[in-house]
Structure 1
């Protein structure tokens, strides 16, 4: 189903007031727009800072639509272009943190990996104060979202808005990962979103295979928004950055945003739902005077609600870009999203679930610093490991009261020794994989690194190679304690009329890609806000 652009253009000038105003047309925003507007008596406005993601003919732009083109979107007009603030822990490097700036948000520019994590991730949320949130709830919500190629069962859903498929024609590197993992005695698992999430498996993609054999993206804009754009009670305005929330007394009454370059105020009769993501949701709250009162006052922002937890607790998974080898022969055209298989396994530090994760890359995968040190030209491929049970925590802070100034975004990668120790172990496992029979016919020589490393060498390589999985979360965590900015019902503390329904509310980062849990959080938000029940 193509994304149709014309209904978006029709509502380039929103009305003065709606029942619900949703800020951020990304993964969560598209869910809320769909679910809340299912009641024909409720008016809904969805505000997106970026473009529609559609061309003049009304269909999705090719780079968004084709799964094998997603890397070209990073740093493009569809990316916010944010970067992490450098620290000595990562050798002073500036690390980009891509965030979607287009209808569909990051679901329109990401690598489309669909992985839900371990049940203990969500039981932990409830145990730590997000009352009512647990694995059973999240599994129900995941099943509501999914249209899984294998059909519905106790774990998976079918008939939902988001199509989930595996590769129809896996790349040889993906095949080697599966076979090499088996040689090492690691489990081979049919579905890592099923009863067990440990072992090697074919990747689940939020994508579908086209008649020509190529894989096509299935974003939130495609699955949730496009089918309902004709609803007369749903209006969508694009190219409309939000500037601040309007606060009248103790209530958020609307949103100030740009329309055709001019600032307008759109009122929200029932409330505002923030779905701008773990960077821009706290940024907008702080610009509106909601956050640490002392820090806001120092920037000349009038504090309205003193919530020091806004912008704190930032988390992301550290990824090593990557472990690269030279191939014996040309690898052929890129298939699927450039990957196709993944592996979850346990370091010596693992708890109840596997903590290490790796995926294949059908080409080089390395930071600029590593590329400058190693020759990665020609026919090469990578297996890139990372840590899903990361412990380091950072922040999002304003640098200025000017909405046009990017915030200070700090994940504090490698601040916790635990994270560095686990990543050191991950490098050895990838070298073990490269030594299996499955990779013997593919590898001419390991390149970066050139073989097994000493502890000191491994730490140096990690500091020069560590990057992001793009799993930003946690900056407006939900909980029952007074320090939590958001209640378990997703309402912002200290002010009425505003709810948060994106990755910001995650108390701790789950051991998975964050797209699936973001959809689940948004589905739960729709239920809590009284949207009509989903019927299939």
Structure 2
């Protein structure tokens, strides 16, 4: 990698382009890249955030946590509920070229084959694991080379730690003591077990979607990249999406798309933009005073995310030394109940204190500590997103309904118990010096309260414009918006059932598939 950041060409905005892509994240950038590489079309990429080129805190994998709640984050929160003891949970979303891949934990993980077979079962024809595996592989430049399971030579560099931190190594070694297998690759034949994390890191730096997909084509004459431009509405004429209304230097501009608009604004801003444009549930639009243009009851519904308890915090006997990798380095997937078809719970180490504010207020965490995050990847609770006004910059009521399903809470509590047992294995004996949070082993009822107080998010919201054939589906199996021409969605909002993994890899795959559908039509 070069130390010289790229330069964003300053191109005059034209009145029309063949394709307009809204949102420069994990879903939108594969579309842009494949259109430029595979067609003669002109493409406009519209991003509300700044470029983010050459920013030290973005480039350095060790500095990713503070990126949330800052300049590079949209600043969204989940609405508090009694199920999480009234805590406000921040839900960072990237606001830069690369989208959330510019601020995330750099985890590349696609979960279990059953995740995508569940999409097929939910009415998404052609989205089984067998169907989507080639598109995962197409995105990958895996350090281990190409195999049946992995891809090489793709835009996204994927590596593992060159030197595991002692806390990360202890997770690998301790898993075996609990009867959890140690595996080489969570994106291989099985994801059940402890393993080194797959990371979007190259030469010690973050490798975002912008690095992989966008940087190589920034100078292409058929591509215009417009940053700092907030989308405020879609233009619709006689059942077709014809373009975009967006802000350019504070002025509303309308830009037309002669072939297709691809909406990749993310799980929160894609449904917001649809509703602002009169596309959504008629009752919701009436409440907001927005004229109905196209009725789709599912817009903003079906919100899903993974609850994460941050964290089991342990006192350390030794100084922890320099932070390595992304502050983690390994991960562990296992079944909360023996009879399950696939792992449903997940843990990762943190080389420091990662406790949520609700736990920091209740526990003494002074001194040298490390943490073990514990959470649920096969969550069943479903929420929704509602606009509180018709203002494009107005507040949102974002509700994942964490722990609405009692089984979600019970599985999460079981995950906490397992990681506490992990900390007490011989593998941690040189590090572990007792628990800081919780203070020690608790009853099941007390652990439920610990989970509520420590509940945070894995940052994996999906589902608010889901794919399928039922009355609540927003897009079809080719990602086209039901009942409208010229409009496709390619981001996490189309996911019908949340996969048991970090969402960067599945959303990248969705972007690759969206591009393939568009290229088929050329």
- CA deviations on 1:72-115 (whole Å, 9 max, x unpaired) are 21111110000001111111111000000000000000000111
Q: Are residues 1:117 and 2:116 paired?
A: no
- CA deviations on 1:337-396 (whole Å, 9 max, x unpaired) are 000011001112762101010000000111112111111122100011100000000011
* Alignment map for 1:160-239 (pairs within 5 Å): 160-208=154-202, 210=203, 215-239=204-228
Deviation (angstroms), 1:7: 2.9
Q: Is the 8 A contact 1:39 1:532 kept in 2?
A: no
Of 58, 70, 81, which residue of structure 1 is paired with 2:64? 70
Q: Is the 8 A contact 2:39 2:519 kept in 1?
A: no
Q: Structure 1 residues 343-352 or 385-394, which shifts more? A: 343-352
Partner SS state of residue 344, structure 1: strand
Deviation (angstroms), 1:516: 0.3
Paired position in structure 2 for 1:421: 410
Q: Is the 8 A contact 2:297 2:471 kept in 1?
A: no
Find the aligned partners of 1:349 and 1:308 in 2 and give their Cα distance.
38
Find the aligned partners of 2:440 and 2:358 in 1 and give their Cα distance.
18
Q: Is the 8 A contact 1:36 1:532 kept in 2?
A: no
* Alignment map for 1:420-499 (pairs within 5 Å): 420-499=409-488
The 1:244/1:298 distance shift into structure 2, 3 A limit, reads same
Q: Which runs of 5+ in 2 are unaligned?
A: none
Deviation (angstroms), 1:194: 0.2
Find the aligned partners of 1:406 and 1:351 in 2 and give their Cα distance.
39
Q: Structure 1 residues 168-177 or 31-40, which shifts more? A: 31-40
Partner SS state of residue 452, structure 2: helix
Find the aligned partners of 2:375 and 2:130 in 1 and give their Cα distance.
27
Find the aligned partners of 1:298 and 1:124 in 2 and give their Cα distance.
34
* Alignment map for 1:227-306 (pairs within 5 Å): 227-306=216-295
Q: Is the 8 A contact 1:4 1:226 kept in 2?
A: no
Partner SS state of residue 319, structure 2: coil
Of 407, 413, 418, which residue of structure 1 is paired with 2:396? 407
Normalising by structure 1, report the TM-score. 0.95
Deviation (angstroms), 1:437: 0.7
Matched residue count? 521
Q: Which runs of 5+ in 1 are unaligned?
A: 55-59
Q: Are residues 1:158 and 2:152 paired?
A: yes
- CA deviations on 1:124-165 (whole Å, 9 max, x unpaired) are 111110011110122111110000000000000000000000
Deviation (angstroms), 1:181: 0.6
Of 354, 365, 371, which residue of structure 2 is paired with 1:376? 365
Find the aligned partners of 2:94 and 2:336 in 1 and give their Cα distance.
32
Paired position in structure 1 for 2:100: 106
Q: Is the 8 A contact 1:476 1:485 kept in 2?
A: yes
Partner SS state of residue 397, structure 1: strand
Deviation (angstroms), 1:463: 0.6
The 1:350/1:233 distance shift into structure 2, 3 A limit, reads farther
Partner SS state of residue 27, structure 2: helix
Partner SS state of residue 361, structure 2: helix
Paired position in structure 2 for 1:355: 344
Deviation (angstroms), 1:5: 4.5
Paired position in structure 2 for 1:506: 495
Q: Are residues 1:31 and 2:53 paired?
A: no
Find the aligned partners of 1:495 and 1:334 in 2 and give their Cα distance.
50
Q: Are residues 1:334 and 2:335 paired?
A: no
Find the aligned partners of 1:274 and 1:40 in 2 and give their Cα distance.
19
Partner SS state of residue 266, structure 1: strand
Q: Are residues 1:6 and 2:7 paired?
A: yes
Indicate the RMSD between aligned Cα atoms, in angstroms. 1.3
The 1:431/1:343 distance shift into structure 2, 3 A limit, reads same
Find the aligned partners of 2:39 and 2:409 in 1 and give their Cα distance.
52
Partner SS state of residue 385, structure 1: strand
- CA deviations on 1:36-76 (whole Å, 9 max, x unpaired) are 1224520000000000002xxxxx20111110011121111
Find the aligned partners of 1:40 and 1:479 in 2 and give their Cα distance.
28
Paired position in structure 2 for 1:53: 52
Deviation (angstroms), 1:468: 0.4
Partner SS state of residue 98, structure 1: coil
